Amino acid sequence: METKSGRWTLRVTPAQDAVVRRVLDATGESLNDYVVRHAVEAARDDLADRRVFAIDDAAWDELQQLLDRPPTPKPELSELLTNPSVLEHPA
Protein backbone atom coordinates (compact mmCIF):
# COMPACT_ATOMS: atom_id res chain seq x y z
CA MET A 1 0.00 0.00 0.00
CA GLU A 2 1.24 3.43 -0.91
CA THR A 3 2.23 5.73 1.96
CA LYS A 4 0.06 8.81 2.34
CA SER A 5 2.17 11.94 2.28
CA GLY A 6 -0.05 14.69 0.83
CA ARG A 7 -2.36 16.84 2.88
CA TRP A 8 -5.57 18.67 1.95
CA THR A 9 -7.17 21.42 3.97
CA LEU A 10 -10.86 21.94 3.24
CA ARG A 11 -13.38 24.52 4.40
CA VAL A 12 -17.01 23.52 4.79
CA THR A 13 -20.20 25.09 6.08
CA PRO A 14 -21.76 23.74 9.27
CA ALA A 15 -24.56 22.20 7.17
CA GLN A 16 -22.07 20.45 4.87
CA ASP A 17 -20.14 19.16 7.87
CA ALA A 18 -23.32 17.90 9.54
CA VAL A 19 -24.52 15.89 6.56
CA VAL A 20 -21.12 14.26 6.04
CA ARG A 21 -20.82 13.46 9.75
CA ARG A 22 -24.23 11.78 9.64
CA VAL A 23 -22.93 9.43 6.96
CA LEU A 24 -19.76 8.78 8.95
CA ASP A 25 -21.80 7.95 12.06
CA ALA A 26 -23.93 5.53 10.02
CA THR A 27 -21.04 3.82 8.23
CA GLY A 28 -18.20 4.03 10.72
CA GLU A 29 -15.90 5.31 7.98
CA SER A 30 -13.30 7.95 8.85
CA LEU A 31 -13.72 11.46 7.51
CA ASN A 32 -10.38 11.19 5.70
CA ASP A 33 -11.22 7.89 4.02
CA TYR A 34 -14.70 9.08 3.03
CA VAL A 35 -13.57 12.39 1.53
CA VAL A 36 -10.59 10.93 -0.30
CA ARG A 37 -12.59 8.00 -1.68
CA HIS A 38 -15.34 10.23 -3.02
CA ALA A 39 -12.95 12.86 -4.36
CA VAL A 40 -10.95 10.22 -6.26
CA GLU A 41 -14.14 8.62 -7.65
CA ALA A 42 -15.40 12.03 -8.81
CA ALA A 43 -12.03 12.86 -10.36
CA ARG A 44 -11.99 9.56 -12.29
CA ASP A 45 -15.53 10.23 -13.55
CA ASP A 46 -14.59 13.77 -14.60
CA LEU A 47 -11.53 12.49 -16.46
CA ALA A 48 -13.59 9.79 -18.19
CA ASP A 49 -16.08 12.44 -19.35
CA ARG A 50 -13.43 14.57 -21.06
CA ARG A 51 -13.97 15.18 -24.74
CA VAL A 52 -10.67 16.85 -25.61
CA PHE A 53 -7.30 15.24 -24.98
CA ALA A 54 -3.90 16.80 -25.62
CA ILE A 55 -1.14 14.47 -26.78
CA ASP A 56 2.37 15.01 -28.06
CA ASP A 57 3.41 14.60 -31.70
CA ALA A 58 4.76 11.07 -31.23
CA ALA A 59 1.53 9.85 -29.64
CA TRP A 60 -0.49 11.55 -32.40
CA ASP A 61 1.58 9.81 -35.08
CA GLU A 62 1.12 6.46 -33.36
CA LEU A 63 -2.64 7.00 -33.15
CA GLN A 64 -2.77 7.90 -36.84
CA GLN A 65 -0.89 4.72 -37.74
CA LEU A 66 -3.34 2.64 -35.72
CA LEU A 67 -6.32 4.33 -37.36
CA ASP A 68 -4.84 3.89 -40.84
CA ARG A 69 -4.46 0.12 -40.47
CA PRO A 70 -6.92 -1.94 -42.49
CA PRO A 71 -9.80 -3.27 -40.43
CA THR A 72 -9.57 -6.77 -39.01
CA PRO A 73 -12.61 -8.95 -39.73
CA LYS A 74 -14.54 -9.87 -36.59
CA PRO A 75 -17.08 -12.57 -37.52
CA GLU A 76 -18.58 -12.69 -34.03
CA LEU A 77 -19.22 -8.95 -34.08
CA SER A 78 -20.75 -9.16 -37.56
CA GLU A 79 -23.08 -11.90 -36.39
CA LEU A 80 -24.05 -9.95 -33.31
CA LEU A 81 -24.88 -6.86 -35.34
CA THR A 82 -26.92 -8.74 -37.95
CA ASN A 83 -29.16 -10.46 -35.39
CA PRO A 84 -32.18 -8.49 -34.16
CA SER A 85 -31.91 -7.09 -30.66
CA VAL A 86 -33.98 -8.61 -27.87
CA LEU A 87 -35.31 -5.08 -27.42
CA GLU A 88 -36.75 -5.16 -30.96
CA HIS A 89 -38.95 -8.21 -30.33
CA PRO A 90 -42.27 -7.82 -28.53
CA ALA A 91 -42.61 -10.11 -25.53
Q: Which of 15-19, 30-34, 47-51, 63-67 has the lowest mean pLDDT?
A: 47-51
Write the Ramachandran bin of 90: left for phi over 0, alpha for psi from -120 to 50, otherwise beta: beta
pTM metric for this prediction: 0.57
Instruction: Encode pLDDT of 37-86 as tens digits.
Output: 999 999 999 999 888 888 999 999 999 999 999 999 999 999 988 988 87
35 and 10 Cβ atoms separated by less than 8 Å: yes
